Chain A
Amino acid sequence: MKKGDSAAFFVFILLIILLPVLSGSTYTLTVGIFSGINALVAIGLCILMGYAGQVSLGQAGFYGIGAYVSSIASLHGGLPIIISAISGMLVAAIAAVILAVPALRLKGHYLAVATLGFGEIIYIILNEWGPGGPSGFGDIPHFGLLWYTIDSTRDYFYLIWGLVAVVMFFSMNLIHSRTGRALRAIHDSDLACNAMGLNVVALKIKVFVLSAVYAALAGSLYAHYVTFISPSSFSLFYSILVLMMVIVGGITNLWGAIIGAVVITVLPELLRRFEELDVLVYGLILTLSLMFFRKGLVPILIEKMKKLRGFAIAKH
């Protein structure tokens, strides 16, 4: 990992540990939990889009698969939560492969629509044939690790963000590895990569599957936290929301995914005071931030920090 990333990671871990200590409020921690769940999905999408250059409007489908499979496996199948979550991730991976093989031949808008179609089909399947149909189902068991059931908000917060940290660590290593460099090369030019002997197709599929697995993990965490799920949480709206998180945070930087997830999750909470107008204000803030922070919040922050350092050095 690069030096800057290590420092950022250290600060990140520190923040995770400190937040519940500084703010005992379960409301704040709940916001934090949902931010963390969204961050997991966003990180996956960020790798897919920012590094492999593929777009997906269907992440909600994998998110939903993870939630439903894990819930059904643990509630009706009696499987331990961890196994259920893993089975959710497995089903999502398989679905991702089935989708990726034909879809990744498509480009740009066409790929976007293919993934959109996939996400919508999953939603329709869940709405028609999922347990409870559109009404969803509840009594999903809380997340448990072996003997210990996690049902306090604070513990759940640590669980989610602990997993985010693990996923970040893994992802950052991936980005800086040979595979990561290969990914970025693909982003720039398929043709060149093929010419150099990289198996472009296989790599693209792997990244697609990775993003699906992250989303499925997030889905199972969501289900076991709220203990009630219905298809409406897994619609196209959510796919677009995740896309927003990645773009707002900065598509070229993994930290952007986390920051974007936090911002997009927290923003509606801050806008409560506007009551009816909150949708309007939310849209305005998004529009303005997309227009003026085009590269995303994190890259812009990094630029600003570099400038400041530049000034500091120049002053000497």
Chain B
Amino acid sequence: MLTVFLQFLFSGLTVGAVYALVGIGFNITYNATSIINLAQGEFVVIGGLMMWFFSESLKLPFLVSVALTIVTAGIVGFFMERLTIKPLKNPDLLLMIMITIAVSIVLRGILMFVFGKDPYVYPSFTEGEPVSIYGAIIQQQTLWVIGITGFCIILLFFFFKKTIIGKAMLACAVNPTAAQLVGINVSKMVMVSFVLSAIVGAIGGMAITPISLMEYDKGPMLAVKGFCAAIMGGLGSNRGAVLGGFIIGILESMTAGYIHSGMKDAVALIILLLILFFKPAGIFVSKTMLQLRKF
């Protein structure tokens, strides 16, 4: 009994960690710009596919591949921001979201062209037998995924709460005019937020690929789930995104395990809707905070 429950739990943690990272990526852009970047899912795919490219195709050492993948993702985020976000003056938020959707189509098209439609995989970061806890197995790579997610959260916490740039980015979201008045280069903060969210997404992709493979069109599903995670926890709250991600992952797994696997996605969505109806701003964001934000 316990074994079975634990197994379901571990499965939920595995997928939940990726949703959490995607959700955090959404928050980073949202916190700096109030834009929801629906191309966030494609960054995850880029992470997985580029890691394959560097480590399997070019046969570069592991750490070098990781570094290069992060740099590539950062570059893609940079160009996305410079080419499609920056040129627009006073954009309507809805329009921005549609543009990010269009960009995600372009990115997907490029990925399909370069990598084709096949799935790709590379070995887990550490090879070895899965860890067994009370009979339930947890793969080593899953531990890596969860560990990396935790590590990212801690790093980002320090970034946003303790560094000047992080605090500046938060200031931009609350009130860009005021931020400019105190000397913050808003446009640069927007750029940094895109680069950072791309990197976070790519890290998620790098970590999950050994478990679930990666192909060019995994982006949209991850984006939707990650977005739901961010909303569930309260847009803008990274704590919330993490909680939301794990909740969705575990809910899916428990539903599949104890009720019916055909319904697992539905139950997670229903819970999301219920949370929204009773706590419209998400779990961690209060209603007043919501009203203070632009959107």
- For A281, what are the chain B residues with a Cβ–Cβ distance below 8 Å? 109
Contact of B88 with A294 in the complex, beta carbons under 8 Å? yes
Instruction: Check if B269 is an interface residue, CB within 8 A of chain A.
Output: yes
Stretch at the interface among A111-119, A193-201, A302-310: A111-119
Number of interface residues of B (CB under 8 A): 44
CB contact between B112 and one of A49, A114, A237, A279 (< 8 Å): that residue: A279
Stretch at the interface among A16-24, A210-218, A240-248: A240-248
Interface residue tally on A, bucketed by range = 35 or more
- For B113, what are the chain A residues with a Cβ–Cβ distance below 8 Å? 276-277, 280
Binary contact readout B83-104 vs A (1 if CB under 8 angstroms, 0 otherwise): 0100110011111001101111
B276 to chain A, nearest CB (A): 5
Contact residues, A186-237 vs B (CB, 8 A): 236-237
Instruction: Check if B176 is an interface residue, CB within 8 A of chain A.
Output: no
B156 to chain A, nearest CB (A): 20
Instruction: Check if B136 is an interface residue, CB within 8 A of chain A.
Output: no
Instruction: Check if B106 is an interface residue, CB within 8 A of chain A.
Output: yes
Stretch at the interface among B67-75, B181-189, B224-232: B224-232
- For B220, what are the chain A residues with a Cβ–Cβ distance below 8 Å? 236-237
Determine the distance from Cα of A315 to Cα of B131 in the docked complex, in whole angstroms.
83
Contact of B272 with A113 in the complex, beta carbons under 8 Å? yes
Instruction: Check if B290 is an interface residue, CB within 8 A of chain A.
Output: yes
Contact of A244 with B101 in the complex, beta carbons under 8 Å? yes
- For A280, what are the chain B residues with a Cβ–Cβ distance below 8 Å? 106, 109-110, 112-113
CB contact between A286 and one of B105, B269, B281 (< 8 Å): that residue: B105
The A contact surface, by secondary structure, is helix
Stretch at the interface among A36-44, A100-108, A167-175: A100-108
Determine the distance from Cα of A2 to Cα of B227 in the docked complex, in whole angstroms.
42
Instruction: Check if A55 is an interface residue, CB within 8 A of chain B.
Output: yes
Stretch at the interface among B139-147, B162-170, B203-211, B260-268: B260-268
Determine the distance from Cα of A279 to Cα of B220 in the docked complex, in whole angstroms.
15
Contact of A114 with B273 in the complex, beta carbons under 8 Å? yes
Binary contact readout A249-280 vs B (1 if CB under 8 angstroms, 0 otherwise): 00100000000000000000000000011011
Q: Which 10 pairs from chain A and chain B are nearest by CB?
A: A280-B109, A283-B105, A283-B106, A286-B102, A102-B277, A287-B102, A279-B109, A124-B266, A117-B269, A113-B231
List chain A positions with a Cβ less than 8 A from chain B. Answer: 49, 55, 102-103, 105-110, 113-114, 116-118, 120-121, 124-125, 128, 236-237, 240, 243-244, 247, 251, 276-277, 279-284, 286-287, 290-291, 294
List chain B positions with a Cβ less than 8 A from chain A. Answer: 36, 84, 87-88, 91-95, 98-99, 101-110, 112-113, 220, 224, 227-228, 231, 235, 262-263, 265-266, 269-270, 272-273, 276-277, 280-282, 290, 295
* Pairs A–B under 8 Å by Cβ, sample size 25: A103-B276, A103-B277, A107-B290, A109-B231, A110-B231, A110-B276, A110-B281, A113-B227, A113-B228, A116-B228, A117-B269, A117-B273, A120-B266, A125-B266, A128-B262, A237-B220, A277-B109, A282-B105, A283-B103, A283-B108, A290-B99, A291-B84, A291-B87, A291-B99, A294-B95
